[in-house]
Structure 1
Amino acid sequence: MRHAVVIIHGIGEQKPMDTLRGFVSSVTRNQGTDGKNIEFYSKPDELSNLFELRRLTTASAEDEGRVKTDFFEYYWAYNVRDTKVQQVLTWIWQILFRWPWSLPKRIRPFHIAIWFIIFASLALILSGYDIPFMGEDQPMWIGAIGTLLTAMLSYLFTGYVGDAARYTSPSPGNIAERQKIRKDGIMLLKSLHESNKYEKIILVGHSLGAIIGYDIIRNLWSEYNTKYVDGKYKDQLLKFEKDYAQPENVALNIKPYQSAQEDLLYQQNDGGNPWRITHFITLGSPLTHASFLLAKNISELKERMKERELPKSPPVFEVIKNINRFTYLPDFKKPGRVLHHSAPFACTQWINVYYENDYVGGNLSEYFGKGIREHKIKIKGSPWLRFVPFLSHTHYWSDDGNLKRCEASLAILTSIIWDKKMPEKDEKEKQTVQPDANELAGLEL
């Protein structure tokens, strides 16, 4: 059996394979025997619908405890075309016309600063102040600079910011693009599952790709959650539910929780559920701004999570007969309970990575649950990268071979991708502990 890693790119005029090649070159560097690079090869990608795409496959090295790994790129940029400046400006104005205190603390200063600039500019104009070079006799170079800046802003808006504006805005003009992006991503992940080649699938989302990955998981899981029906590990599932269907004010130790997730996924697999997504890694994820990207405000975001539209880790539970539940009986004639449709992160571990000065990303556990392993890291390199806001956003791996600046991010990525400690199934069976029947009394129905 193999492992699969799927990388979802972020905003911008991305070209097929650019993201994948840079990512794979970075995570294979110095990861082989004696610090050598892991070799990889370009092979046809039979699972994607684009001939532009290839899969990059590593050579197997069983003596090192490493299995063959296939890397795929989910390329979606070609689905968002013909963005208009007006669409982006409308989206920006919708964000600007929010009360600053309703926005995440991380971007609140930028929101206030923009309004300060707007009011200062208006005050300057209304005061009648004679701005140099703004009269009828302005030099030609002023007009040329203005034209150049306008063209640059137009390209930035339509080629980059427009991707986020259109994907996160469910207006009628964006629905077709949103649907196509999600549908193609789901088809790729379903193809990986149905190929029966992979015992482990890791989904990595950078920037807007993190939101797309989240949407793919939450929609795909609803096709898999009821496939665990034999009840072989029903006591273990009840124990997991008892331990982690807890109110948000109850402390959660992340290491035991993710270990329990790993156990639960194996039990689900062995019990008939073919779900194989072991890890969801978000890099510089805008989901930290979910209160205005996925909802109108924090209250609406929490309500949509409570309604199980947006999954959390641990899953949202309901109280049934004084018992906290995120499982249910799909068929009373069958022995086992199943996880509900909004519980993918009962089985899938969520790891979030962001730089201190990357304000596109940020902490996710505040909204999406304490079961997310958070990594707030520092970038190395020039003062520009280390201190100027947002510049670190494109440096979670290296496209130019300079791994030093992103070594903190790569250490996390490589530890997950090349994990040599993951037990084999026969070892996992020996580790499966039968819960105390008395402890679970009354929880089954």
Structure 2
Amino acid sequence: MARTPRKRTSTATPEPITRQAIVVIHGQGEQRPMGTIRDFVQALWQDNPQLDTPGEAYPRPRPIWIVPDDKSGLYELQRITTPEHNGRRTDFFELYYADLLNATPLRNLWRWIRRLLWIDPAYVPRHMRWPWAVFWFLTVIAITSALGAVLALPQVFDTNWYDHFVSPAAQRGHWISLVGLALILLPKFIRPLARLKALPRPLLVFVIAMGFLDSFGWNGHVANLMLLGWLAYLAGTLLLPYFGDAASYLSAQTETVQSRQGVRNRGLALLKALHDDPEYDRVVVIAHSLGSVLAYDLLHILWREVGPTKDNPPGPEAVAAFAALDDFVAAGPDDDWVPVRVEAYQKLQWQLFDALRRQKGEPGSSEGSGWKISDLVTLGSPLSSAEFLITDGHADFSRMKTERVLPTAPPQPYDDTRGSIYPDAQKGPSSHHAAVFSAVRWTNLYDRSESPLFLLGDAISGPLSGADRFGPGIKDEKVEITWGRLGWRLFTHNFYWTDTAPDGKPPADHITTLRNAVGFERPSP
């Protein structure tokens, strides 16, 4: 989409942020349009006590308006708008892309699985070794089970299963299975039994399976076929819908180029529409899981196309803010990025963003406008395993960062004497194409457990900050999410935006951390 030529002007007069857009990018899986964004609106706006003014009563949940969205390009999506609050109005948008990855060919998934299985063990990060080992174990189990089922086919077909199934010895197993099935179905149709819905569904399915095995006298061939069926069920309901999306987006192969291009085109169309809309002063991107990889790519591409590079050089105030940022980075050692220094770095990023977003433009000139995206907030990001999932090991990952193929925070220096900006002979000081995280604050929430039981917490997530990752200027926030009355820590990957605190209690710590990262009403410098 071509940008309207504008004349760049700049002013030192403080300009408050009066309208902002928050873009939510969902993760992998069979997501429904608008299935995720409503929970973010509730957490960040409707139930957010940080926005309350002392002495004033606010309704819970706060009111919202849902109106047609003409920027996403999908009629299935709606824009969620808040009333003006403390001089600022907010619009929520969802970047939906699950439909573009829905037709994942099995060969794409198999190619990705094969790559993960045969990757050099030296390339596997320490935190991924247990999941990788379990992945190998399940693969061996599936192959062994399938081989056993094939070899047992003659004996299976020669057995009179019907006579055994109706024999008195099978009655006990029948009753066990029927009881388990009744506990699942009866609460659905008989209202007085609705309390039985609290029984764990996996436990009841396990009871039915045990009863079925008992009906057949705990025959090994039947048990093996049930195991094979269970593995096939997991492959169809988990592996293909969830990891199939990752296979389509993370691996650049002949079969995946078109789907990757379609996803990025849709995302860029939305971000450009928001960037070019003069109504918006600020844009925040919140991305979960695979969506964080997409958000990372989109910001890099968008910076090259509309950011303050030599095709749209920054004004004097922005150049000064760039210089202050580069001086700050150069002043301290690379291995001394303590939390206080990261906070100071993000304040300078906020000042640079503010200088860029105030570069207004007018139609008819040869220059473009400034930059409007202030924050990237990633939740449960697989980028923590980039050297394992995206590149071929740590050496390849380091090379791609040095070559500015993968942007970092702070950005890789232009050369030995210059940082994120360099002098252009014709257009003056400009930022290089991978300096997007000079102006965009990156906050990453993760809930990785150090326990070998990788199902505790969120094994997909992890820290992104550090010279050996995506740069020390990222603000990593380690959270510990618990859910349920017993405070479960099992697979918390989808709970980053859900307040799991009991009713009447203060918000859960991870919700407060998310709200602080977004900075819903963060003032202008």
User: TM-score per shorter chain, which class?
Assistant: 0.7 to 0.9
**SS of residue paired to 1:397:** coil
Hey, what does 1:7 align to over in structure 2? Answer: 24
Paired letter, 2:458: D
* Cα-to-partner distance string for 1:148-196 (whole Å, 9 max, x where unaligned): 6424422322212100111001000000000010111011000001111
User: Kindly tell me: are residues 125 and 171 of structure 1, through their superposed partners in 2, closer, same or farther at Cα, counting changes over 3 Å?
Assistant: closer
1:422 Cα deviation after fit: 1.2
Paired letter, 1:262: W
**SS of residue paired to 1:5:** strand
Hey, what does 1:100 align to over in structure 2? Answer: 121
1:104 Cα deviation after fit: 1.7
1:372 Cα deviation after fit: 0.6
2-side partners of 1:359 and 1:22: how far apart?
Answer: 22
User: Kindly tell me: are residues 123 and 145 of structure 1, through their superposed partners in 2, closer, same or farther at Cα, counting changes over 3 Å?
Assistant: closer
Hey, what does 1:225 align to over in structure 2? Answer: 308
Hey, what does 2:405 align to over in structure 1? Answer: 309
1:134 Cα deviation after fit: 11
User: Kindly tell me: are residues 192 and 134 of structure 1, through their superposed partners in 2, closer, same or farther at Cα, counting changes over 3 Å?
Assistant: farther
1:341 Cα deviation after fit: 0.5
| 2:358 is the counterpart of 1:257 | no
Paired letter, 2:25: I
User: Kindly tell me: are residues 384 and 337 of structure 1, through their superposed partners in 2, closer, same or farther at Cα, counting changes over 3 Å?
Assistant: farther
Hey, what does 1:53 align to over in structure 2? Answer: 77
2-side partners of 1:358 and 1:107: how far apart?
Answer: 12
Q: Is the contact between residue 142 and residue 228 of structure 2 (CA under 8 Å) also seen in structure 1?
A: no
2-side partners of 1:90 and 1:52: how far apart?
Answer: 32
* 1:198-217 superposed matches below 5 A: 198-217=280-299
Of 367, 385, 391 in structure 2, the residue corresponding to residue 289 of structure 1 is 385
1:420 Cα deviation after fit: 3.5
1:315 Cα deviation after fit: 0.2
1-side partners of 2:108 and 2:403: how far apart?
Answer: 30
User: Kindly tell me: are residues 123 and 383 of structure 1, through their superposed partners in 2, closer, same or farther at Cα, counting changes over 3 Å?
Assistant: farther
* Cα-to-partner distance string for 1:216-271 (whole Å, 9 max, x where unaligned): 00000001222234334534422321221576335351110000101111222335
| 2:477 is the counterpart of 1:394 | no
* Cα-to-partner distance string for 1:280-321 (whole Å, 9 max, x where unaligned): 00000010111022211111111111111110000001434x
Larger radius of gyration: 2
**SS of residue paired to 1:360:** coil
Paired letter, 2:378: T
* Cα-to-partner distance string for 1:309-360 (whole Å, 9 max, x where unaligned): 110000001434xx24221123x344x4121100010000000001132011
Of 412, 423, 436 in structure 2, the residue corresponding to residue 329 of structure 1 is 423
2-side partners of 1:372 and 1:302: how far apart?
Answer: 17
Paired letter, 2:347: S
2-side partners of 1:299 and 1:383: how far apart?
Answer: 45
Paired letter, 1:377: V
- Segment drifting more, 135-144 vs 72-81: 135-144
2-side partners of 1:134 and 1:401: how far apart?
Answer: 56
| 2:197 is the counterpart of 1:109 | no
Hey, what does 2:178 align to over in structure 1? Answer: none
Residue-pair matches, total: 412
- Segment drifting more, 27-36 vs 347-356: 27-36
Q: Is the contact between residue 22 and residue 283 of structure 2 (CA under 8 Å) also seen in structure 1?
A: yes
Segments of 5+ residues of structure 2 without an aligned counterpart are 1-17, 163-211, 213-221, 361-368, 449-456
1:399 Cα deviation after fit: 9.3
Q: Is the contact between residue 402 and residue 412 of structure 2 (CA under 8 Å) also seen in structure 1?
A: yes
| 2:268 is the counterpart of 1:186 | yes
2-side partners of 1:270 and 1:191: how far apart?
Answer: 18
1-side partners of 2:520 and 2:349: how far apart?
Answer: 16
Of 323, 338, 345 in structure 2, the residue corresponding to residue 238 of structure 1 is 323
1-side partners of 2:319 and 2:386: how far apart?
Answer: 35
User: Kindly tell me: are residues 199 and 160 of structure 1, through their superposed partners in 2, closer, same or farther at Cα, counting changes over 3 Å?
Assistant: same
User: Kindly tell me: are residues 16 and 325 of structure 1, through their superposed partners in 2, closer, same or farther at Cα, counting changes over 3 Å?
Assistant: same
User: Kindly tell me: are residues 420 and 284 of structure 1, through their superposed partners in 2, closer, same or farther at Cα, counting changes over 3 Å?
Assistant: same
- Segment drifting more, 374-383 vs 227-236: 227-236
Aligned-residue Cα RMSD (Å) equals 3.1
